[in-house]
Amino acid sequence: MEYRNLGRTGVKVSPLCLGAMMFGAWGEPDHDTSIRIIHAALDAGINFVDTADVYSQGENEEIVGKALKGRRDDIVLATKFHGQMGDEINHQGNSRRWIMQEVENSLRRLDTDYIDLYQVHRPDEETDVEEMLSALTDLVRAGKIRYFGSSTFPASQIVEAQWVARDRGLERFKTEQPPYSMLVRGIEADVLPTAQRHGMGVIPWSPLAGGWLSGKYRKGADTPTSTRADRLPHRYDLSLPGNQRKFEAADALGALADEVGIPLIEIAIAFVINHPAVTSAIIGPRTMEHLESQLPAATRQLDAELLDRIDEIVPPATSFNYADTGYANPALEPAARRR
């Protein structure tokens, strides 16, 4: 496996990042099984693991912490904060108060002294960007985190954060973690070139589009069911026009994969990691079989002809369903649009 630069940090990471979201109550509930899958990924050469506090309300970080015992110093470990943790009103968001409290919680659950990459899971319109960057800078200087980054930020807010950091003498976002797949290509128009201009590593989530590119969404086949579809019906309900167009595209991409003789899963992940702006694609296996089907994508190359045919099915910068972008822009809420 060839390793890549994580932006301009000097850190080398694998082209596949093990996303741990499906370990715990949200996916595989058995901790020993989850740990075996994590170890198999590490043994295959993956040295980059991504989780978040909100995944299974902290259980996920605990599983990752157990799995990394004895191997922690060899792994680039990333986690995230922002989501609601419990019922307390201030146990969420991007405030200094919560960042300082939650980093300690994550360190305890992960059973580690430091986090390599601490990421802001989503923007927070109620928190000043300088407040957030100042707190994260203090954590870097205290040695609790090595770097920090953003996740699912629009290009305009990425730029704002870069300029505020420069203007105030603060540490800056070193990475962005956006949604990206053959079915969710909106970031090609702005986020990816913005990240390139600022020397940021890019770590896309959901290269399989939440399972739509698993090969199971085909005409004539039974519609797949999953806990994720139950949790996020707006991304899977086929009565919605955007999802219907997504289904048509997934079926066409599946037919293309059959024609060229490459599993759709491999094409989907390789499509993401072959983009010159992308550092590492986050894969999220729930089973050992899932992991084994995704690992070959790390070395899969897609030629220009195949990429052109993918573009014919899903044109560049196209996203069929706004819900797949992962960020509800408050500027589009009715209250913000009333004259």
Residue 320 and residue 244: Cα distance in Å, rounded?
Answer: 9
Phi, psi at residue 165, to the nearest 5°? -60, -45
Please say if 55 is a catalytic residue.
yes
| Active-site residue, selected from the candidate residues 55, 118, 180, 236 | 55
Q: For residues 282 and 269, what is the distance between their CA atoms, to the nearest angstrom?
A: 9
| DSSP symbol at 83 | S
Task: Write the DSSP assignment of 206-269 as a string of letters.
Answer: -TTGGGTTSS---TTSPPP--HHHHH-GGGT-TTSHHHHHHHHHHHHHHHHHHHHTS-HHHHHH
* Measured distance CA(12)–CA(6) in Å, rounded: 6
Dihedral, CA of residue 52, residue 235, residue 127 and residue 164, to nearest 10: 80
Annotated active-site positions, please?
Answer: 55
